[in-house]
C-alpha cells in the first residue's frame, strides 16, 4: 500500500509540473499578446495565443523535457530513465509503417463513422486551435518535441511508475486513460486512449522509448502533414491500400518476431 501511494504521489508531481509549465508559458504569451493592445485586450490575447499555438507547444514540451530530466536525474541515469537502447533499422521501419497505417485508419474512421456534426466541429476547432504558427514551428512541435516529451512522460514515467506497483493490464489501462484525458476533446480522448495502448505495447515489446517515439513521430507526421497535403487530390482507395500494406507488414513482422522468440 505504501509503495502504491508513493507511486501515485510521484505521478501527481509529474502531472503538476506539466500543468504548471503549461500555465506559465500561456500566461507569458497572453501577457505579450495583450501588451500594447487597443480596444478588447481579451480578444487580442486570444488571437495572439492562437497565432502562437505551435510555438507555445514547442516551448512547453522543451520545458517539460527539462523538468523531467531534472526531477529524475539524481535518482537514476538519464539513459535508464528514458529506457534508451538502440534498435536495428528494420524495427524503426516497422514502427513507422505501422504508425502510418494506424494514422490512416484513424483518419478514415473519422471520415466514415456517423459522428455527430457538433462533435466533429468541436474536434476540427481543437485541431485548428493547436495549429497556429509557421510550418517549422508546427513541424518541430508536432513531429519532434511532442512525441519525445509525451513518450518520456506517459510511457517512461507514468506507465513505468504504475508498472512497478500494478499488474501490467491495470498499469496500461490507467496510463492510457491519463494520456487520453490529457488531450481534452472527446474524439481526441478516444483515439489518444487507443493510440496510448498501441504505444505502450510497442514500448513493452522493445523495452525502449526509441520504438514508441519512432511510432509516435511517424503517426504525427502522417496525420498532421502527409494526409492533409494529399487529401485534396487523393481518393480513398489509395489510402485503404496503404493502410492494408502497413497492417500486413506489421502482422508479418510480429509473426516473424514471435517465431524467433
Sort 198 into a burial class: Cβ within 10 Å, 0-12 / 13-18 / 19+.
Answer: middle
Q: Which of 157, 156, 151, 149 is closest to 63 using CA atoms?
A: 149
- Cβ contacts of 233-241, under 8 Å, gap ≥ 24: 236/108, 236/111, 239/104, 239/107, 239/108, 240/108
Within a 10 A sphere around the Cβ of 70, how many other Cβ atoms? 10
Helix axes 53-72, 2-34, angle to 10 degrees: 150
pLDDT in the model for residue 231: 67
- All three cell numbers of 172: 496500461
Cut 0.75: pTM above it: yes
The pLDDT value recorded for residue 9 is 86
Residues of the chain whose pLDDT is less than 50? 258, 261
CB 84, CB 210: distance < 8 Å: yes
Residue 77's pLDDT is what? 54
For residues 31 and 138, give the distance between their C-alpha atoms in angstroms, rounded to a whole number: 22
From the number of C-beta atoms within 10 Å of its C-beta (0-12, 13-18, 19+), residue 50 rates as: middle
| Mean of all residue pLDDT scores within the chain | 81
236-242 LR contacts (CB < 8 Å, sep 24+) = 236/108, 236/111, 239/104, 239/107, 239/108, 240/108, 242/100, 242/101, 242/104
pLDDT at 38: 66
Q: Which of 7, 159, 148 is nearest to 65 (CA)?
A: 148
| Triad 225, 231, 236: Cα angle to 5° | 125
**In the prediction, which pLDDT does 261 show?**
47
- For 221-255, b/e burial (b = at least 16 CB within 10 A) is bbbbeebeeeeeeeeeeebeebbeebbeebeebee
> What pLDDT, on the 0 to 100 scale, is given for residue 255?
57
DSSP string covering 199-218, please?
HHHHHHHHSSHHHHHHHHHH
Amino acid at each position: 500500500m505504501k509503495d502504491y501511494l508513493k507511486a501515485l504521489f510521484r505521478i501527481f508531481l509529474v502531472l503538476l509540473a506539466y500543468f504548471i509549465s503549461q500555465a506559465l508559458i500561456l500566461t507569458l504569451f497572453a501577457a505579450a499578446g495583450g501588451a500594447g493592445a487597443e480596444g478588447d485586450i481579451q480578444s487580442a490575447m486570444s488571437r495572439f495565443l492562437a497565432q502562437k499555438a505551435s510555438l507555445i507547444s514547442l516551448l512547453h514540451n522543451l520545458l517539460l523535457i527539462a523538468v523531467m530530466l531534472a526531477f529524475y536525474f539524481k535518482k537514476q541515469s538519464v539513459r535508464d530513465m528514458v529506457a534508451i537502447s538502440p534498435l536495428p533499422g528494420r524495427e524503426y521501419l516497422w514502427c513507422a509503417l505501422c504508425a502510418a497505417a494506424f494514422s490512416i485508419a484513424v483518419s478514415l474512421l473519422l471520415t466514415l463513422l456517423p459522428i455527430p456534426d457538433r462533435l466533429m466541429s468541436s474536434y476540427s476547432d481543437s485541431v485548428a486551435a493547436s495549429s497556429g504558427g509557421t510550418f517549422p514551428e508546427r513541424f518541430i512541435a508536432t513531429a519532434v518535441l511532442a512525441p519525445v516529451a509525451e513518450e518520456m512522460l506517459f510511457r517512461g514515467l507514468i506507465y513505468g511508475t504504475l508498472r512497478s506497483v500494478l499488474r501490467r493490464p491495470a498499469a496500461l489501462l490507467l496510463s492510457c486513460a491519463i494520456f487520453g484525458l490529457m488531450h481534452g476533446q472527446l474524439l481526441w480522448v478516444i483515439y489518444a486512449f487507443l493510440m496510448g495502448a498501441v504505444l505502450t505495447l510497442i514500448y513493452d515489446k522493445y523495452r525502449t522509448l526509441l520504438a514508441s517515439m519512432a511510432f509516435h513521430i511517424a503517426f504525427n507526421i502522417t496525420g498532421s502533414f502527409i494526409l492533409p497535403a494529399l487529401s485534396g487530390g487523393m481518393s480513398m482507395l489509395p489510402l485503404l491500400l496503404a493502410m492494408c500494406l502497413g497492417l500486413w507488414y506489421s502482422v508479418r513482422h510480429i509473426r516473424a518476431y514471435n517465431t524467433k522468440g
